[in-house]
Amino acid sequence: MDRTERFYKIDQLLAERRVVPFEDLQSELEVSRATLKRDLLYLRDRLNAPIVWDRKAGGYRYTGQTEPGHARAGGRFDLPGLWFNAREIHALLTMRHLLANLDQGGLLGPHVQPLMARLNGLMGTADDSAEEVRQRVRIIGMAARKMDLAQFERVGSALLRRKRLLITYHARGSNEVSEREVSPQRLVHYRENWYLDAWCHLRKSLRSFSVDAIERAEILEKPARSLVDKTLNKALGAGYGIFSGARVQWARLRFSPERARWVVSEQWHPKQKGRLEPDGAYLLELPYSDDRELLMDILKYGPDCEVLGPEELRQRVREQASATHALYRKSARVRSRDRATQKPG
């Protein structure tokens, strides 16, 4: 624990316990008596912390205004900025981003506001440090789809109460709308959108449902069928992306030396295998069950990504690339024809 962290720990202990004996502070911080004395003197004399020794109570406490940022004789008490590591700042900003998008004026608004206040407190303690973090560090969400908050609340309620749901679901792939009874297992936030992993009593199997594609949800007074995590992970977590299944294959991809400089640092799947070739190319192997999402990620690299196998995946990439190229040529012909038919201004 470095000195800045110790300052925050001392402030937390004094705020929570009101009076803290010297020995308790030393034990919590795991430092020598001399180090603790220097920390207390620095907080009091350099940072204007209103810390006093209360002989009668037998410990240190704040006097007068006890919150950081309040004035006292001699100046203000502001703790130094505390920086987070990459994972911590991402987690804080992601939670704030998610909460901010749960419709402040909706059903969850009264519950979201206290959480937002707690997160702002974690992100900084000076008057404007939380706002400074939000201005200087951003998480940009892409391709998030609009979701009916009321349906989301029903899904979450059924999930926690272990009740079944009767849903009207729009499967965008087939453009079909069906009504089915499901047993919710878990909610997953993936690539800016929410998915419900559930046992579908109509299909007699585990399925992932886009929550934004649930047009109607009704909680049934029937106990949900519960499955253990091992079963869920085997059926839904074995392959690449959100789409999965029982039949797992291994994709073998070769990235050009230019593109390899980026891909070598990326994690596409927890079980992926990768190695650099002598020429700088990067070979990546990863499991997949449903190729829909994998196809999109492969195609965005264009000629910088070559599919070495399986042959079925190679063929699917060829077909998709050909279809995309044909569509592009058709659009180019239409634009050319439109320009030719335009009258001079």
Instruction: Give me the residue spans of the domains in the chain.
Output: 3-76, 86-136, 149-236, 249-325
Q: What is the pLDDT of residue 327?
A: 82
Quickly name the fold that domain 149-236 has: SH3 type barrels. (2.30.30)
**Residue 68 — very low, low, confident or very high, per pLDDT cuts 50/70/90?**
very low
Q: What is the pLDDT of residue 12?
A: 87
Q: 287 pLDDT exceeds 80?
A: yes
Q: Judge whether 12 and 79 are in contact, CB under 8 Å.
A: no
Q: Please give the span between the terminal C-alpha atoms of the chain, in angstroms, as a whole number.
A: 73
Q: What is the pLDDT of residue 72?
A: 42
Please state, in angstroms and rounded to a whole number, the distance separating the CA atoms of residues 333 and 339: 10
Q: What is the pLDDT of residue 75?
A: 46
Instruction: Tell me the per-residue pLDDT of 16-54, one tens digit each, with 9 for 90 and over.
Output: 888 999 999 999 999 999 999 999 998 988 888 899 999
Q: 105 pLDDT exceeds 50?
A: no
Report whether the peptide linkage leading into residue 310 is cis, meaning its omega lies within 30 degrees of zero: yes
Burial class of residue 306 in the structure, from the number of CB atoms within 10 Å of its CB (0-12 exposed, 13-18 middle, 19+ buried): middle
Instruction: Tell me the per-residue pLDDT of 320-344, one tens digit each, with 9 for 90 and over.
Output: 988 887 887 887 777 777 777 765 5
Quickly name the fold that domain 249-325 has: Alpha-Beta Plaits (3.30.70)
Q: Does this model's pTM top 0.75?
A: no
Q: Which of 116-120, 154-158, 215-219 has the lowest mean pLDDT?
A: 116-120
Q: What is the pLDDT of residue 149?
A: 77
Identify residue 155 by its one-letter amino acid code.
Answer: V
Please state, in angstroms and rounded to a whole number, the distance separating the CA atoms of residues 93 and 138: 8
**Longest CA pairwise span in the chain (Å):** 95
For domain 3-76, give the CATH number. Answer: 1.10.10.10
Task: Count helices and strands (H / E) in the chain.
Answer: 11, 13
Please state, in angstroms and rounded to a whole number, the distance separating the CA atoms of residues 251 and 289: 10
